[in-house]
Chains A and B, each alone.
Chain A
Amino acid sequence: MADHKSSRVIVDGNPIEFSAGDNALVVMLRAGIHPTGGGCLCLAGDCPHCLATVDGVSYVRTCQVAARPGMVIKRHPSDAPPPLPLDHWSGPDTIARHIYCDVVVIGMGESGRAATAEAQRNGKHVITLDAGAGQEVIGVYPGPLVVARTREGMVHVYPREGIVVATGAAEIHPVAPGNHLAGIVTARAATHLSDAGINLGRVVAVGMPPEGIAVEQADGELLRFDGVDRVEAVVMCNENGSERKIECDTVSIGLGLCPRDALLRMSNGLAVRVVGDAARTSDIPSCPKAGTVCHCAGVTMDDLESVRERGFHELELVKRATLAGTGTCQGSVCLPYIRSFLADRGESLQPPFTARPVTRQLTVGEVAASSYHQATPRTALDGEHRRLGAQMERAGGWWRPWSYGDTVGEYWAVRKGVSIGDVSTLGKMLVSGPGALELLERLYPTKVATLKPGRSRYVLMLNERGYVLDDGLICRDDKTRFTLTFTSGGSSFAELWVRDWAESWRLDVRLLNQTMSLGAINVTGPFAHELLARAGVGDPPQYLHHRTATVAGILCRVFRLSFTGEVSYELHHSVADSVTLWRRLLRLGADLGIKPHGVEALLMLRLEKGHIVVGQDTDFDSTPRRINHEWAVKLDKPDFVGRRAILRTDKAPLDRQLAGLEMEGPAPAEGALIWKGSDYVGFVTSSAFSPVLGKAVMLGWLKLLEGELPAEVTIVGRPARRVPTPFYDSEGSRARS
């Protein structure tokens, strides 16, 4: 051991010098400090008696941590758990490395080294993990996956062929009154401390003596330890029944070994091989008469007796009833004694209880190492929105501009002038091939065959029960090619839905999802024609038509439709051109008062037109009839997904329906309950104050009362009326102008 006093650690605020090679526990013991006040120390990472908070992390086994200059150690309170850290952790993220191999060997003692050499001789790629080198395995999981904590972060090892557990054996701790005192160590720990230069004073050995230390042997049965805070004597019972009290400064405990096989016991069904001492049969100590068995959970021999008297005779049940074995050391100390206790009380010697990850306390950062929160995609115009000061929100699974700071102004730009909106988030899919028409005919409740090339149609997507899954457009490009659009939030599922049916029906089609490849900008408002003309499109497509055109120098597919109730063109283009197109449109429309509109304004505009948002205004069981969209379903088609269910459910009386509602004053919150007198009759799904109408307009689910939707209801204590939709421009003349 080097005796060069080079550096200091801080223990409970006091600087303490340490020597090279010291672990944190040795540093404290050399200074006369027991980390937890007392209890038998093993210096092998098995017991719970050297735990402390090290550099802000609690429950650290100080015997397993090399002392470092400036290390801050705080002992845990004796009567309470360590406090949670109050400071925001600003250190680097904990990383996890993912490593693949043929065999992983855990433990690099003699048997671990032999297993490694054997595997390598057989040409296997071997990864070794050794606690002595700071690589603590904390769990074995199905996969198989072995997770270890290292000084550099977490390591996830994926062995293709097997796991070798060579973790050795732990020393059995003493259970007797007074085993909470300081000055009790296992035999190996005594040798370790002596080697580290710590004066153990007068040492008495119970059981096997430690190597290399002069001791006084204490024969007989261990009765108790005497002392106040620190052991002053050990009391033994001789063969003749008399007590013998031996004064001492340190008691060395050599009561046998139990295998460190927790990793085996948690690896049910996995290819795990145990070698060396980890494979040995546990020594079973004699059953003590008294004392603390489980220091982690504070379980005494009296507690074991108590639960046994209440009928808990199985080891697994005793564990659950007392919590012995569920604490910090995961049964390393108590397990041999509980087995011994049950055997002594007439039960057979039961196998060790199941172990479960984790074997070591982990920080949240270690558990979450290299895991990532779900990312929210951004459109190509994300930077433009932020530059314009937009308040960005997650909507429909994307980052979208909720408002540019003047929602009402954005709204009026659409109603009275011209506005552009980023609708790149809409799902977009190309369908091509000789089976394309049949696929769409069987998938959608509209008559796709009547759709001419260059035309578009609003469609519902239904499931087999006739419930609405999504909505969007079918646009026919030519005889065998179509473009589909889906809602932003529903596009991923819709793509899978289309692909699944195409495959199920074995149709000859090609499918290309272009949602993330194409940007889309909605040009909307009474001056939309004018803006497009300025952008070089003097003859834009008619309502529900589409064609390719160059818009402000950018190649686009121009779709004429309307979600806002005003003239609208969706310009689909390569995401590489989104920023250029966006800026050019803003520049071309500057003198028209052009403003971009955010999602909040868009939702107001569409609500005035009574357009639903699938997922907001629909439920999982919304049929076209319930949402007043029977016009979108052609039951005279031979078949489509959901047809049979609709034919069946149409025979049942309607029980509830989505309806338009209006009221004076501010708009109630979406989700507000709807009442008829004192009866609950529904709830609001969409709600906004309509600037153009000067009142609140809503969509909401209403129950039918005696076959009729109620005409007058109460929402947030105010009267509301059921009215037909659209609320605005019911003839649709503005959108078609």
Chain B
Amino acid sequence: MPDLKLLHGTRIVATPVALDKAVWSQDVLALRIAPDEVFVTPAISAAFVDDQHAIVAPDAGFAGAWIVSDEALDFLERSCEWELPRERPAFAQGAVAGLPVKLWLEDDRVLFLVPAAYATDLEERMA
């Protein structure tokens, strides 16, 4: 059973144009979870987004765990009724094991993110 941990990050809501132009540091993972929203982890102290009305909020609402690719893809083959992107790295999100999951797929590992409120359920379903 994976041990999902709260993932500290920053959620940024801004205009899609501003987010398209934003450049993120090499040491953070910036996941574009909606046209107007990015989740950056680990948390960043300031967001250089060209939108004076942007919402920049610290966030620990996701729980996550890195899983090695073979194990992750085996689980996803059983629990994901949509086709995963083939390129790597890639971001994908949708229902996995009946839960709202976000995936960051790298060559040798996959980050599973789920709202912390569903972390227990995802752990049980991945066990």
Contacts and interface: CB of A to CB of B under 8 A. Distances in A.
Interface of A: 95-100, 156, 158, 370-375, 377-380, 382, 398, 430, 432-434, 480-481, 508-512, 514, 516-518, 574-576
A437 to B, nearest CB: 12
Most buried by B among A430, A508, A511, A575: A575
A480 B53 contact: yes
Contacts of A373: 98
**Chain B residues touching A, range:** 20 to 34
Contacts of A574: 58-60
Nearest to B37: A512
Given A576-B6, A576-B8, A375 B78 contact: no
A512 B55 contact: yes
A375 B116 contact: no
Nearest to B59: A517
Contact of B36 (A510, A514, A516): A510
Nearest to A435: B53
Interface of B: 6, 8, 11, 13-15, 36-37, 51, 53-55, 57-61, 77-81, 83, 97-99, 115-118, 120-121, 125
24 contacts: A98-B77, A98-B81, A370-B78, A372-B79, A372-B125, A374-B98, A375-B98, A375-B121, A377-B118, A378-B120, A380-B117, A398-B117, A430-B55, A510-B14, A510-B36, A510-B53, A510-B55, A511-B13, A512-B13, A514-B57, A516-B61, A518-B61, A575-B6, A575-B60
Given A98-B80, A510-B14, A575 B116 contact: yes
B7 to A, nearest CB: 10
Given A97-B78, A99-B77, A508 B53 contact: yes
B60 A100 contact: no
A372 B55 contact: no
A508 B36 CA distance: 12
B78 to A, nearest CB: 5
B114 to A, nearest CB: 10
Nearest to A433: B53
B78 A96 contact: yes
Contacts of B55: 430, 432, 481, 510, 512
B57 A156 contact: no
A512 B120 contact: no
A379 B116 CA distance: 8
A430 B117 contact: no
Contacts of A430: 13, 55, 57
A512 B59 CA distance: 11
Nearest to A480: B53
Contacts of B125: 372
Contacts of B77: 97-99
A430 B11 CA distance: 12
A512 B57 contact: yes
Given A99-B77, A516-B117, A575 B13 contact: no
B71 to A, nearest CB: 15
A158 B82 CA distance: 9
A79 B65 CA distance: 56
A507 to B, nearest CB: 11
A514 B80 CA distance: 26
B122 to A, nearest CB: 8
B53 A371 contact: no
Given A97-B77, A380-B116, A510-B54, 6 more contacts: A371-B98, A373-B98, A510-B53, A510-B55, A511-B36, A574-B58
B28 to A, nearest CB: 18
A609 B19 CA distance: 47
Nearest to A96: B78
Nearest to A398: B117
Most buried by B among A98, A374, A378, A514: A98
4 closest pairs, A vs B, by CB?
A372-B98, A517-B61, A377-B117, A576-B60
A439 B97 CA distance: 36
Contacts of A374: 98
Contacts of A379: 117
Contacts of B97: 372
A180 to B, nearest CB: 43
Given A430-B55, A508-B53, A100 B78 contact: no
B73 to A, nearest CB: 11
Given A98-B80, A158-B83, A576-B8, A516 B116 contact: yes
A156 B79 CA distance: 11
A432 B53 contact: yes
Contacts of B54: 432, 510
Contacts of B59: 514, 517, 574
Contacts of B80: 98
A88 B79 CA distance: 25
Contact of A517 (B36, B53, B60): B60
B13 A156 contact: no
A372 B11 CA distance: 29
Given A98-B78, A375-B118, A516-B115, A575 B61 contact: yes
A576 B5 CA distance: 10
Nearest to B63: A575
Contacts of B83: 100, 158
Contacts of B78: 95-98, 370
B13 A377 contact: no
Nearest to B98: A372
B51 to A, nearest CB: 8
Contacts of A511: 13, 36
B93 to A, nearest CB: 15
A158 B83 CA distance: 9
A142 B60 CA distance: 40
Most buried by B among A99, A373, A516: A516
Contacts of A377: 115, 117-118
A83 B14 CA distance: 62
A478 to B, nearest CB: 11
Nearest to B14: A510
B15 to A, nearest CB: 8
Contacts of A370: 78-79
A575 B8 CA distance: 10
A514 B61 contact: yes
Nearest to A153: B78
A345 to B, nearest CB: 47
Nearest to A371: B98
Nearest to A382: B120
A109 B83 CA distance: 29
A61 to B, nearest CB: 26
Contacts of A95: 78
Contacts of A509: 53
Nearest to A99: B77
Contacts of B79: 370, 372
Nearest to A430: B55
Nearest to A377: B117
Contacts of A158: 83
Nearest to B115: A516
Contacts of B57: 430, 512, 514, 517
